[in-house]
Amino acid sequence: MNTSLTRSIGFWLLLVVSLATTAVGGWLISGQIGTMTTTLLDGTATGVEVYVGQSLVVVGAGVLAAGIVGILLTLGLVAARSLVPAPAPAPAVVEAIDWTAEPEEKATPVETASTTVEGSVGATHDAEPAAAADAEPADAEPSDTEAESEETTPAVTR
């Protein structure tokens, strides 16, 4: 069986329900035929056991047939899935290694951590002054991008 088919909930549901239906249909048929046979041979059969028993055997046969069809569908799915080829895995892209290049120097974890800690400590205590220093004063001239956007945006008059 293919792994995608065996991981499918629908496949397993079809198989389990088909097996259960087959078992219930077989149980209905065998129970009713056994009861009818025993009572008819003993001479103690009543109309209910004979006539209702025949109807229950017909219902059991329908349930049994539905279960068998489900099992055959499950086997058909397995056979059809085995005929479909599995998709080929995508090729992995591997970069060429330049053996002549100099290795890059990496920052040690201690340097990175100390820089980060110092920057974050200063930022937490001086959050307002840092924010005020980053903000533009109200009388400052607009930057190039702001000037361009003002020129391209038409003025709205009321």
pLDDT digits (tens, 9 = 90+) for 103-151: 777 666 665 555 555 555 555 554 555 555 555 555 555 555 555 555 5
131 compared with 45, residue with greater pLDDT = 45
129 compared with 16, residue with greater pLDDT = 16
Euclidean distance between CA atoms 44 and 9, whole angstroms? 49
pLDDT, mean over the chain: 77
Distances (CA, A) of 119 to 51, 76, 126: 92, 67, 11
The ranges assigned to domains in the chain are 3-83
Instruction: Identify the pLDDT of residue 115.
Output: 53
Instruction: Identify the pLDDT of residue 2.
Output: 54
